[in-house]
Amino acid sequence: MMKVFVPNESAAGEPRVAATPETVKKMVGKGLEVAVQAGAGDRAHFPDDLFTAAGASVVEDRSAALSDADLVATVSGLSADEIRQLKAEAVCVGLVAPHQHADAVIAYRDQKINCLAMELVPRISRAQSMDALSSQASIAGYKAVLLAAYRLAKYFPLLMTAAGTIRPAKVVVMGAGVAGLQAVATAKRLGAVVEVSDIREVVKEQVESLGGRFIELPDMGGGEGEGGYAREMGEEFLRKQREIVTRHVSEADVVICTALVPGRKAPVLVTQEMVEGMRPGSLVVDLAVAQGGNCVLSKAEEEVIHQGVTILGPSNLPADTPYDASQLYARNVWALIEPLLGESGVNLDLEDEVVAGALLTHNGEVRHAPTREALEGDSK
């Protein structure tokens, strides 16, 4: 019987869990033996007794469970030392951030672990239910607006009172991916006027369908990259973009930054000069801070105040909604794992587009080309 282990997340400030009682029940129904580390779901409000009721065993010894597992499901991946405790050819699933954790990638490779990185799942129709980046980004976009509304020194909606009219807040969203579109929808529900900047003209219709105003940019063609993400643009284009966006940012009460390019540093879209042109009391919420940030002044998990403008750098907003974030993420994990189950365990068909895309390491090799190239570059 294949053994699955769900550990307590050891990363600081990570309350999510990679399996819920709902998905554990499905695993058990497929004949898997599931062990959950004691307290793994506590911070996401899934106590141990719910996992026990779903058919899992609750274990205290993390090291023993790791060394015994055929498959380990995580949110933020394992440390290099923990990876070395796994048996060869075990399968590990999680948001492993390979570009940030080279030591873990090396350990996965050297230990001959089959690592499926959730952030590498290809954005194709068949894999939509496995797309953890989208499920978590949607939560981040929602929470970013609530954070901004809480911190802003004015109302979001238009208010007409006996004491006079309060004009609605103006929100500029940088990037119209999943997080950006959820930010647009949430800000509109709160009554703000919303403008959106994105290099992909294809998202204009989506922005407008949510009630946002699309900021037109010159020479929009070719802004869409692989998998529907924005592709990395040249400095000349970014300079022209900044010139146009600067005017809109200077009039904004809130700027929410969501623009990412997979596997690369986030593009700088909000310069120091742009921040200095904003009104005192306005806010920047930078959701791209974990990859360097879209705002040049943002710092991860810090509040920066520059000439009266507050720049917030929350790097893990989905963790602020751990119950729903865990439910969505656990379903993504199960959607990836279930089709791979065979009589002898996990069947990794390297010809399968989803497996080929998500497989970070396999049989002692780093299969993800950008990560492999980065490691080779570091070794020179």
3 state SS of 224: strand
The structural domains of the chain, with segments of one domain joined by +, span: 3-120+325-363, 137-320
Does residue 189 carry a catalytic annotation?
no
DSSP state of 319: G
62, 84, 123, 189: which one is catalytic? 123
Same fold, 3-120+325-363 and 137-320: yes
* CB burial string 50-66: b at 16+ within 10 A, e below: bbeebbbebbeebeebb
Query: pLDDT of 4-49, one tens digit each?
Result: 999 999 988 899 999 999 999 999 999 999 999 999 999 999 999 9
Does residue 138 carry a catalytic annotation?
no
**CATH no. of 137-320:** 3.40.50.720
Let me know: does 95 contact 132? Beta carbons within 8 Å. yes
**CATH no. of 3-120+325-363:** 3.40.50.720
The per-residue pLDDT for 237 is 72
Query: pLDDT of 171-180, one tens digit each?
Result: 999 999 999 9
63, 128, 209, 272: which one is catalytic? 128
Query: pLDDT of 151-206, one tens digit each?
Result: 999 999 999 999 999 999 999 999 999 999 999 999 999 999 999 999 888 899 99
131, 198, 253, 286: which one is catalytic? 131
How far is residue 122's CA from residue 138's CA, in Å, rounded to a whole number?
Answer: 17
111, 134, 315, 326: which one is catalytic? 134
Residue listed under structure tokens 């119950």:
323
DSSP state of 264: S
109, 229, 241, 367: which one is catalytic? 229
Structure tokens at 358: 């998500």
Does residue 135 carry a catalytic annotation?
no
DSSP state of 54: T
Query: pLDDT of 297-333, one tens digit each?
Result: 999 999 999 999 999 999 999 999 999 999 999 999 9
Helix or strand (DSSP H, E) at 63: helix 62-68
**How many other C-beta atoms are found inside a 10 Å radius of the C-beta of residue 216?**
10
Query: pLDDT of 267-291, one tens digit each?
Result: 889 999 999 999 999 999 999 998 8
- Counting other chains too, the contacts that 214-219 makes at CB distance below 8 Å and 24 or more residues apart are 215/172, 215/244, 215/245, 215/248, 216/244, 217/241, 217/244, 218/244
Helix or strand (DSSP H, E) at 5: strand 3-6
Total number of residues shown for the chain? 380
Does residue 229 carry a catalytic annotation?
yes
Structure tokens at 339: 């089709």
pLDDT band at 99; cut points 50, 70, 90: confident
Does residue 264 carry a catalytic annotation?
no
Helices (H), 86-162: 102-110, 132-151
Q: What is the pTM of this model?
A: 0.90
